[in-house]
């Protein structure tokens, strides 16, 4: 049996099966946990051009959220909760939902910024 780098860096009795070193993996897990906790259908993190970086929920929904994130148009027909992470480095987007409270949104945003290493 070949030992992977991940296995070699963790103690043999390590409970975690997945390392916390991978930023993208950690971000996706955080988004999925947040999505389930809030009951929203999708959450996406996009770059400044609207390209999906990471998401939770249906892939198509995440792509659409990412594309809408950095746009400054009036979205009367697309109710959207969005926030800038860092100084425009990334966007966090989710469909507007009463189940996503202000406190939940703040925790979600802070967690994404922490994982991405962005100072808020």
Of 77, 74, 112, 116, nearest to 93 by C-alpha is 112
The whole-number average pLDDT for the span 38-49 is 88
The per-residue pLDDT for 5 is 47
Residue 76's pLDDT is 52
Q: Would you say 111 and 104 are in contact if contact means Cβ atoms under 8 Å apart?
A: no
Q: Write down the pLDDT at residue 25.
A: 92
The larger pLDDT score, comparing residue 82 to residue 109, is at 109
Tens digits of residue pLDDT in 94-105: 887 777 888 888
Q: Show me where the domains of the chain are located.
A: 43-120
Residue 91 has pLDDT above 50, yes or no: yes
Secondary structure E strands in 1-120: 42-47, 52-57, 80-85, 90-95
Across residues 11-35, what is the average pLDDT? 76
For residue 18, what pLDDT is reported?
55
- Residue 52 confidence (pLDDT) above 70: yes
Helices (H) and strands (E) in the chain, counts: 4, 4
What's the whole-model pTM score?
A: 0.73
Residue 78 has pLDDT above 80, yes or no: no
Q: Are 47 and 87 a contacting pair, CB within 8 Å?
A: no
What mean pLDDT is predicted for residues 21-29?
89
What pLDDT sits at residue 98?
78
């Amino acid at each position: 049996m070949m030992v992977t780098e991940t296995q070699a860096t963790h103690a043999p009795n390590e409970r975690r099966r997945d390392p916390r070193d991978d930023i993208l993996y950690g971000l996706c897990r955080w988004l999925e946990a947040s999505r389930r906790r809030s009951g929203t259908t999708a959450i996406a993190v996009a770059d400044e051009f609207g390209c999906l970086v990471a998401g939770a929920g249906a892939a198509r929904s995440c792509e659409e959220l990412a594309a809408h994130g950095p746009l400054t148009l009036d979205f009367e027909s697309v109710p959207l909760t969005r926030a800038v992470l860092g100084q425009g480095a990334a966007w966090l987007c989710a469909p507007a939902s009463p189940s996503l409270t202000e406190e939940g949104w703040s925790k979600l945003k802070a967690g994404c910024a922490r994982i991405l290493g962005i100072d808020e």
